[in-house]
Amino acid sequence: MSRVLVESELSYEVREPSNLVFSVTAAHTSHQHPERESLDLQPDCGFTEARIGLAENRIVRTQAESGPFSLRYRAAVQLDAKTERPEDLLESLFADLPNDTLPYLNPSRYCPSDLLAEFAQREFGKTDRGHVRVEAICRWVHEHIAYRHGVTDAHSDACDVLIGRAGVCRDFAHVGISLCRALGMPARYVAGYAVGLEPPDFHGFFEVFLAGDWYLFDATRLAPRGGFVRIGTGRDAADCSFATIIGSAELKTIAVSANPIDGDEGGAVDPSTPLSTA
């Protein structure tokens, strides 16, 4: 059990009356409990909170007039991730997969897993099934893909990244998800905050369904999973934009942080220990 203080502040110059949808608030799950949340909009134009999509992600909808606009979110998030022993996490047989995991086997915009069946089989088909296989995928991604800004963009899918061999956190997650799905493992995207991420920013990682639960993975290895705070969950990054603007607004500044309260930063969890916060 640990607590993380997450904060994000986004400021915009709005050019015409616009609708804005934000996905920056911490999710409520059985292993993650946001407390003492505050959400301030300047000017104070009011907002609606809603839950959308398969995973019922929290979003904030608002409308802003022309001029400066900013959003500031702050919460203390209590995390009590469930840990397991790797050897206990076998892949679920298809017949045992719960109905609500099945949509996460389908290909999606940035995770065209239908194209990667042979690729996944040839690289990981002989690896033992279960947690060890997802770890092998993460290792492969980490070793074969360079973490580098400016190579990919918002249109890049996992195949582009596998060819270009470079990308950022969302690209790493998309590749991991695609390979897992291609092997028959439900996998999904998680957007969130991450303690220890340098430079501080929102982060993208992924979850795989193993032995009855969703487990967290991050092929970037840029921050300890124990300090991940989930914002939203989706098929891929298309479901988890931090901000969607309908109209015209320019992002001027963004500041994101995630810091352990009481000094714990999730580092107590060994990198190879399976961890679930779903």
Q: Which of residues 12 and 258 has its CB atom nearest to a copy of itself in the complex?
A: 12
Distance CA 193, CA 80 (A): 16
What's the Cα-to-Cα distance from 18 to each of 3, 14, 100, 248, rounded to whole Å? 35, 7, 35, 6
> Taking contact as CB under 8 A, which single stretch among the options 24-32, 56-64, 185-193, 250-258 is the one that binds a copy of itself?
56-64
Residues 69-98 that bind a copy of itself (CB under 8 A): 94-95
Per rule CB under 8 A, is residue 102 in the interface with a copy of itself?
yes
**CB-hemisphere CA count at 13 Å for 261?**
13
157 to 186: interface string for a copy of itself, x by CB under 8 A: --x--xxxxx-----------------x--
DSSP 8-state assignment for residue 195: T
Which of 13, 118, 128, 270 is the binder for a copy of itself (CB under 8 A)?
118
The number of angstroms, rounded, from the C-alpha of 162 to the middle of its chain's C-alpha atoms is: 19
Output the six-digit token pair for 131. 């947690």
The answer to whether residue 21 forms part of the interface with a copy of itself (CB under 8 A) is: yes
Q: Which of 4, 59, 180, 229 binds a copy of itself (CB under 8 A)?
A: 59
Select 1 or 163, whichever has its Cβ closest to a copy of itself. Answer: 163
Is 49 exposed, middle or buried (CB count within 10 Å of its CB: 0-12, 13-18, 19+)? exposed
163, containing H or E segment: helix 158-164
Structure-block tokens of residue 226: 């124990």
Our finding on whether 238 is near a copy of itself (CB under 8 A) is yes
Work out how close the CB of 146 gets to a copy of itself at its nearest, in angstroms, rounded to a whole number.
6
Q: Would you say 7 or 123 has its CB closer to a copy of itself?
A: 123
Residue 90 near residue 129 (C-beta atoms within 8 A) = yes
> What backbone torsions phi and psi does residue 268 show, to the nearest 5 degrees?
-70, -20
Name residue 217's amino acid. F
For residue 258, the minimal CB distance to a copy of itself (Å) is 26
**Least distance to a copy of itself, CB of residue 118, Å:** 4
Q: Which residues bind a copy of itself (CB under 8 A)?
A: 19, 21, 50-54, 59, 61, 63, 94-95, 99-100, 102-103, 106-109, 111-112, 114-116, 118-119, 122, 144, 146, 151, 154-155, 159, 162-166, 184, 235, 238-239, 246
